[in-house]
């Protein structure tokens, strides 16, 4: 949350308004609209309970809302990606449910009429979407090999 000062650069003044951005990750079987409604209801209830003379406005950016997505583990691409990761890294991949709101994966599934997969090439310590986000050079190079091997594995599986 940040305060908006009435005079730019003067941190000693109390701003006339405050703005906060809230981000919520959607998990399987949640609906973005219901999550937004629950957050709005909670904030308005707390605001009312505090009897503040201030005005509270809660808005949601519908363009940035997206539902949850989960790969279909039985699809040929999923198996090919697993084989590719194992071939490149020399070990069976650990399959975990991790990630965030995936807007592109379900879109691609609908538009292309096939299953989408998501193969992360980084590590949690890469600080994705945060300041100083990074990818280790080794992961970048190995990731290019994983993608190349995936295409080979997927094609071989289609024969």
- Tens of pLDDT, residue by residue over 55-105, are 999 988 877 777 788 888 888 999 999 999 999 999 999 887 766 556 788
> How far apart are alpha carbons 96 and 93 in whole angstroms?
9
pTM for the model stands at 0.67
Residue 19 φ then ψ, to 5°: -130, 135
Task: State the average pLDDT over residues 129-140.
Answer: 88
């Amino acid at each position: 949350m940040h305060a908006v000062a009435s005079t730019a650069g003067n941190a000693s003044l109390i701003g006339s308004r405050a703005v906060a951005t809230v981000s919520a990750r959607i998990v399987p079987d949640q609906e973005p609209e219901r999550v937004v409604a629950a957050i709005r209801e909670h904030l308005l209830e707390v605001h009312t309970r505090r009897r503040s003379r201030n005005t509270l406005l809660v808005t949601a950016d519908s363009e940035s809302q997206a539902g949850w997505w989960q790969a279909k583990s039985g699809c040929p691409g999923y198996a090919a990606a697993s084989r590719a990761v194992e071939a490149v890294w020399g070990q069976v991949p650990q399959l975990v449910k991790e990630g965030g709101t995936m807007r592109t994966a379900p879109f691609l599934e609908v538009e292309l009429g096939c299953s989408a997969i998501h193969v992360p090439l980084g590590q949690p310590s890469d600080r994705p979407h945060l300041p100083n986000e990074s990818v280790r050079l080794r992961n970048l190079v190995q990731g290019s090999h994983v993608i190349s091997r995936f295409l080979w594995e997927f094609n071989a599986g289609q024969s």
